[in-house]
């Protein structure tokens, strides 16, 4: 773990203004922001821990909790919201048995919501990993999840 974080900081030339990008890369590496990695960033770059945590908790893209193998993103942007995105989220919560931000016990899925993925015409949209699922209905939720089970 130590080496990956050091390499990422080095890639950005220890530039404090690149902190958001550095945290994004760390998250891509570990799927979430491990506490030890944040401590390391703070010490290495000379940024107060409070500032690192402020960023890590302000942006909703960051997670301080370990996440599952497949990230299920439900769009709740305005366009998907009016097309029933909330209902899809409800259905996913029931099927997975977790709230938004939660990870299933088998570490296979993490459920998250997102505000607009830029394909409103196909709303309500769900994204799992890199794959998009458009015009979602409650009936389609289970078959969609089964692909990843």
Partner 1 sequence: MPGKLKSPKELEALNKKLAKGLGTDKARVSVCNGTACRPYGSNPVVEAFKAEINKKGLTDQVEFKVTGCHGFCERGPIAIVEPGNIFYQKIKPEDVPEILDKTVLNKQVISRLLFKDPLTKAEITAQADLPFYKNQKRIILGNNIRIDPTSIEDYISIGGYSALAKALFDYQPEQIIDIIKQSGLRGRGGGGFTTGAKWESCRKAHGDIKYVIVNADEGDPGAYANEGLLTGNPHSVLEGLIIGAFAIGSHQGYIYVRNEYPLALKNIINAMEQAGKLGLLGKNILGSGFDFEVRVNRGGGAFICGESTALMASLEGKVG
Q: Does 120 bind partner 1 (CB under 8 A)?
A: yes
- 74 burial type by CB count under 10 A (0-12 exposed, 13-18 middle, 19+ buried): buried
Sign of CA dihedral 62, 63, 64, 69: negative
- 111 burial type by CB count under 10 A (0-12 exposed, 13-18 middle, 19+ buried): buried
**Cβ 124 to partner 1, closest distance in Å?**
10
Among 24, 42, 95, 138, indicate the residue that binds partner 1 (CB under 8 A).
24
Closer by beta carbon to partner 1, 14 or else 105:
14
DSSP state of 70: E
**Cβ 105 to partner 1, closest distance in Å?**
26
Among 34, 84, 102, 134, indicate the residue that binds partner 1 (CB under 8 A).
134
DSSP state of 103: B
- Distance between CA atoms of 117 and 32, rounded to whole angstroms? 20
- Distance between CA atoms of 2 and 7, rounded to whole angstroms? 9
Q: Does 128 bind partner 1 (CB under 8 A)?
A: no
Site string for partner 1, 61-90 (x = CB under 8 A): xx--------------xxx--x--------
Among 114, 141, 144, 145, indicate the residue that binds partner 1 (CB under 8 A).
114
Question: Per the structure block, which two tokens stand in for 50?
Answer: 């409070």
Residues in contact with partner 1 by the rule CB under 8 A: 16-21, 24, 51, 54-55, 58-62, 77-79, 82, 114-122, 125, 130, 132-135
């Amino acid at each position: 773990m130590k080496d990956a974080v050091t390499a990422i900081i080095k890639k950005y030339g220890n530039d404090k203004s690149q902190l958001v990008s550095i945290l994004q890369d760390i998250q891509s590496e570990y799927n979430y922001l491990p506490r030890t990695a944040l401590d390391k960033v703070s010490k290495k770059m000379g940024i107060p821990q409070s500032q690192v945590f402020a960023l890590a908790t302000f942006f909703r893209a960051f997670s301080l909790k370990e996440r599952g193998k497949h990230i299920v993103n439900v769009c709740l942007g305005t366009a998907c919201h009016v097309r029933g995105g909330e209902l899809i989220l409800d259905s996913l919560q029931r099927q997975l048995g977790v709230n938004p931000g939660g990870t299933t016990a088998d570490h296979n899925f993490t459920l998250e919501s997102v505000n607009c993925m830029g394909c409103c015409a196909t709303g309500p949209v769900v994204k799992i990993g890199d794959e998009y699922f458009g015009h979602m209905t409650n009936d389609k939720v289970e078959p969609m999840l089964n692909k990843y089970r």
